[in-house]
Amino acid sequence: MSYNILSQNLLEDNSHLYRHCRRPVLHWSFRFPNILKEIKHFDADVLCLQEVQEDHYGTEIRPSLESLGYHCEYKIRTGRKPDGCAICFKHSKFSLLSVNPVEFYRPDVPLLDRDNVGLVLLLQPKIASGASPAICIANTHLLYNPRRGDIKLTQLAMLLAEISSVAHQKDGSFCPIVMCGDFNSVPGSPLYSFIKEGKLNYEGLAIGKVSGQEQSSRGQRILSIPIWPPNLGISQNCVYEVQQVPKVEKTDSDLTQTQLDKTEVLETAEKLSSNLQHHFSLSSVYSHYFPDTGIPEVTTCHSRSAITVDYIFYSAEKEDVAEQPGAEVALVGGLKLLGRLSLLTEQDLWTVNGLPNENNSSDHLPLLAKFRLEL
């Protein structure tokens, strides 16, 4: 399950988004029991939660989830922000191999001055038959600001680099990956397409067009090439760069100079490329439109907007099936999608007065998928 549960703090700071709601349904004392009831009802093996407020996490959320059999890991946002991301998993189903928090704020990189975070866990399924592959679970809540696509793409690259490092196996392949969260980008946007296609040529792209949240891009800057500076240590392939230290003795100054020249030439060539890539083959659990009507699914709905910004992406080897053009099948060792919880249309949600309401206590809907892990 991936679920942005709406931190009480953010709700109160943005009360203009919830004018359509009856006051009582906005109180945390009303909302939390409802959210917990949903989590209990769906009984997911893994929860990826966003907007988890730190004080509520300590006093209510974590204790409640632990009593339901979950082990919880939490990463608070930087800069004294009061909320963060949590990944909780049933300890009857998985053992924890590693916890890898990601901070998108970097004091040494002026571009990265926002306090968003991610969290990446490596889990080992507990199965009777012996060895199973590990599975990598990532959760994030990217920057909201629709006009700062440069920051959003860089935050995504940082998350992908961490996933790449965590999911990398001895034989050079990746273990199965599930990447969840609130990406503050809509289906079909350049950021979304980059996740799904594994490549993006961003030459000439306005920074306000990256996420597709807003239509107008009046007088907007074009993305610089490269988007982020080399000192971030992440390549255009969204992996951590190995720091190349010239292996020569101090005395051999000529050779050192030659090597440095070579390095600079390579860097310049890469700098000029406006192509981003990543090495995962990711599919979306949801298709974002209802097949019969073509009406969009929405994952969030309040006074300002009703759109999809939340996703569950998973690694599925794409293989063309001759009889069914465009069909995707998971190869051995991958994840096979067995089912998902239906989303709703904007019209559906306004018939129950939008979100939050008496029964649904966040301004987002929970996303839920059932996978089979191919051993």
Q: What is the 3-state secondary structure (H, E, C) of 3-64?
A: EECCCHHHHHHCHHHHCCCCHHHHCHHHHHHHHHHHHHHHCCCEEEEEEEEHHHHHHHHHHH
310, with CB counted inside 10 A (0-12, 13-18, 19+), is buried
Please say whether the beta carbons of 117 and 78 come within 8 A.
yes
For residue 335, pLDDT over 70 is answered with: yes
In a 3-state reduction of DSSP, which class is residue 71? Answer: strand
Question: According to DSSP H, which parts of 88-201 are helical?
Answer: 149-167, 190-197
Vertex 305 angle, CA 178 and 154, to 5°: 45
Amino acid (one-letter) located at 64: S
Report the range of poorest mean pLDDT among 68-72, 162-166, 312-316, 330-334: 330-334
Question: Does the pLDDT at position 246 exceed 60?
Answer: no
What pLDDT is attached to residue 215? 80
Is pLDDT of 242 > 90? Answer: no
Element (H, E) at 5: none
As a whole number of angstroms, the distance between CA 232 and CA 242 comes to 12
| pLDDT surpasses 70 at 27 | yes
Q: Is the pLDDT of residue 325 over 70?
A: no
pLDDT of the residue at 214: 86
Average pLDDT of the segment spanning 54-60: 98
pLDDT at 316: 86
pLDDT above 80 (res 207) = yes
Superfamily of the domain at 2-198+280-373: Endonuclease/exonuclease/phosphatase (3.60.10.10)
The C-alpha atoms of residue 54 and residue 75 are separated, in whole angstroms, by: 9
How high is the pLDDT of residue 264? 52
**SS3 of residue 131 by DSSP:** coil
Least confident range of 130-144, 174-188, 329-343: 329-343
Q: Where are the domains of the chain?
A: 2-198+280-373
pTM, 2 dp: 0.91
Task: Determine the pLDDT at residue 146.
Answer: 96
- Alpha-carbon distance of 147 to 48, in angstroms, equals 26
Q: How far apart are CA 311 and CA 179, in angstroms?
A: 8
> In Å, how far are 30, 110, 182, 207, 238 from 139, measured between CA atoms?
26, 24, 8, 24, 17
For residue 236, give both structure tokens: 């255009």
pLDDT tens for residues 131-150? 788 999 999 999 999 999 99
109 against 329, higher pLDDT = 109
Instruction: Work out whether the CA dihedral 154, 366, 307, 10 comes out positive or negative.
Output: negative
124, with CB counted inside 10 A (0-12, 13-18, 19+), is middle
| Rounded Cα distance, 181 and 195, in Å | 13
Closest CA to 25 of 352, 368, 367, 366: 352
Measured distance CA(164)–CA(16) in Å, rounded: 40
Question: Do 365 and 343 touch, CB atoms closer than 8 A?
Answer: yes
Q: Which two tokens stand for residue 190?
A: 């350049």
Average pLDDT value for residue range 154-171 = 97
Under the phi-then-psi rule, with left for phi > 0, alpha for psi from -120 to 50, and beta for the rest, what region is 244?
Answer: beta
346-361 mean pLDDT: 97
One-letter identity of residue 272: L
Residue 363 has pLDDT above 90, yes or no: yes
Amino acid symbol at 180: C
Q: Which two structure tokens, joined as six digits, stand for 317?
A: 């080897």
Band of the pLDDT at 318, cuts 50, 70, 90?
Answer: low
Give dist(CA 230, CA 99) in Å, integer: 26
What is the tens place of the pLDDT at every residue in 249-307? Answer: 444 455 555 455 555 545 554 446 999 999 999 999 999 999 999 999 999 999 999 99
Name the band, by pLDDT with cuts 50, 70 and 90, for residue 327.
very low
- The tokens for 21 are 């709601």
Confirm if 86 and 99 have CB atoms less than 8 A apart: no
Q: Is the pLDDT of residue 209 over 60?
A: yes
Residue 221's pLDDT is what? Answer: 94
Average pLDDT, the chain: 91
Q: What confidence category does residue 375 fall into, taking pLDDT thresholds of 50, 70 and 90?
A: confident
